[in-house]
Structure 1
Amino acid sequence: MTFVGPENAEQARLLRLLRDDGPRSRVELGDALGLSRARLTAEVDRLAAQGLVETAGPAASRGGRRSSLLRVAAQVRFAGVAIGPAEVDVALTDGELTVLARRREPVGPRLGPEATIARTLELLGKVRAELGLGRLSGVGVGLPAPVSFRDGVPVSPPALPGWHGFGVRDVLAAELGCPVLVDNDANVMALGEQHAGTGRAFDDFLYLKLGTAIGCGMVLGGTLHRGATSGAGGIAHLRLGEGDGDGPLCGCGESGCLEAYCGDDALVREAMAAAEAGRSPALAARVAEAGGLTVADVARATTAGDPAAQALVRGAARQVAHVLVGLVNFVNPGIVIIGGTAPGVGPTMLAEIRSVVYRRSPPLATGSLPIVLSDLGDRAGVVGAARLASDHVFAAP
């Protein structure tokens, strides 16, 4: 199946404007794009003929004959896929990236790429059936891994054993018959925040993704910054220890990495130590009941006011903050958005991160810098993945 897109830069700008701001009148579009009425009409007619734009009812009267609103055509549908170490999350959106249907399913952390992609295709089939949808305009995928954006493959991902070099993009594109884009989850979530979250109001911001895998998405000058080889924002394995062998062992095989101190596995490890040492009767009781702990158990103990759980979460947050101080001073963002934490952990981590960053940074960098939790929560991944696909489909040739 051949998918058409904009033929020139004006059409691409028009589509992105309708995607980001919703239905607009011809007059509003002409003013925003700086196009004459005749040129706008010609470009709109071409997009309508391709099935990318359609009318959406009458516009508000500005005197004279009433104009009609234009919108991204109803047949334009994107899919956003967020693959994690323990879950696949799939959503279908319209052309404005509003989520129309969504399904999530747990997966084993060592299920492997072939089986995980097969599950992903099954879920996509189910949400497409819900909407009676036969065609997808594009699919975006976020992975908790370093990703070669050019090749659409994960590169040596500690959180996804066995996925190195697996052709996620090409396998899905062959099965679905539409463009597929793949990026790391922090970048994808940053795009979600840029489209529908707090980041929408800022041209320069950092999205700090915590949880099982840690990363940082950077939007600079209104554009996602990937770096020369798609490695920008890869903070998970920055070493915090004094030297070789210092600090806890990380999944990457090294020791003292940020993720080894602050990831979900690290929180569980420290919580088990607190339970075994008798510092937390609540956590010890949970171990006795369940035979172990999860990050959800740590979150529940933290929100319930357990001193040991709160102390270990604050300790992890301080390690994150030490790295964030360097990022804030180097990049000078307009806002820092934090997401990916287990429900209940975020507020405690946020308070500690703010305390350290504001105390250790010069006023010029942080005097008016908000540090906030994501208001999109777990929707950031699927919305951002759909945005990733739409950026490609709505790009000028």
Structure 2
Amino acid sequence: MSSDPQAFIPYGRQTISEADISAVKSVLRSPFLTSGPAVPAFEQAVAAKVGAHHGVAVNSATSALHIACLALGLGPGDRLWTSPITFVASANCGRYCGAEVDFVDIDPATGLMSVQVLEQKLQQAQQEGTLPKVVVPVHLTGSSCDMAAIGSLAERYGFEVLEDASHAIGGLYQGAPVGNCRHSAITVFSFHPVKIITTGEGGLATTNDPVLSQRMRELRSHGIVRDAERFEQPAAGSWVYEQQQLGFNYRITDIQAALGLSQLQRLDEIVAERNRQLQQYMELLAELPVQLLEVPKDVLSSVHLAVIRLQHATGKQHRQVFEGLRAAGVGVQLHYSAVHLQPYYRKLGFAEGQFPEAEAYASSAISLPLFPGLSGLDQQRVAAELAKQIRAFAPEFAV
């Protein structure tokens, strides 16, 4: 990446190697462009990397969340709970299934779902007869939630756990890879271009349950069954298939899977570089009134994002810093606005004050540029521009 002081620095970007290009070219020269051998090879490679028994690849993480919810039996009359600080898909997947959606407030230090708040909310829901069927913890910025604690609550209160690990492939929790489903039914990864590794667009669900795996495979392809032993009607010939449920066209292509397979070879290297950049930001920003989100103990984050929270800043000052950085060529972003305050969810009855930690987060958080290839000089420029914007309302910080 150029260290030109005038160049725009995006908050994230993909990195494509010659090996990646060669892998895609090999598919383009092959007989298969859509559902060929690269897709199952990618599924098996990801599952093996994270220590899960099955992988089901689809065209986006949103699609993976949707079919995961359906495979878990979520439907009208059921409830899904997730974090209010996430991309809207973590909540929307419940609405796609006709379920009610609610939220669990965050730990302000990590941005992750608060286990304490979850437990309190579950106790109240049990008394009211409104327990969730599915809880979706979100591994914000690449740091795993406390999955052992959430899994223990799932056993006690009888809900399914669906990990939204869209940010977190390559991360570890208690020394084991995120995605092994030790404490969950299904884990979902994203391979959008700004994520840890990319397939251009794409997602993948891991599970240790063969029934869930089969359900998701059928749901991603129109609900079609090709195994004659499972047909509900007599087969008229070897070419016959049956649609046994309403499914979707969520398939991923061999082109995308080949790119993902190639990128997967560099996963550990990419995660290590992202962690080095996060450490550099910690050093550069140490004297500023900002706090990087904490990585919990027993977690190796994949560091999809470097999120700071401005300290002692008003909402107006937060916006001024954000817009000032962008005007200076530093492409900061907000991950995320609180989902419950989006217009769609307001129409469902959500309002300010329901999840105060999430709302405070959204009015103070800024995602700084972080991606493979970002230079140390560019990180210094980001820190200097941030200090400049902060000095506009806090002149005592003359870093």
User: More strand by proportion, 1 or 2?
Assistant: 1
TM-score, normalised via structure 1 length:
0.32
Compare CA radii of gyration and give the structure with the larger one.
Answer: 1
Larger RCO: 1 or 2 (CA < 8 Å, sep 6+): 2
Q: TM-score, normalised by structure 2?
A: 0.32
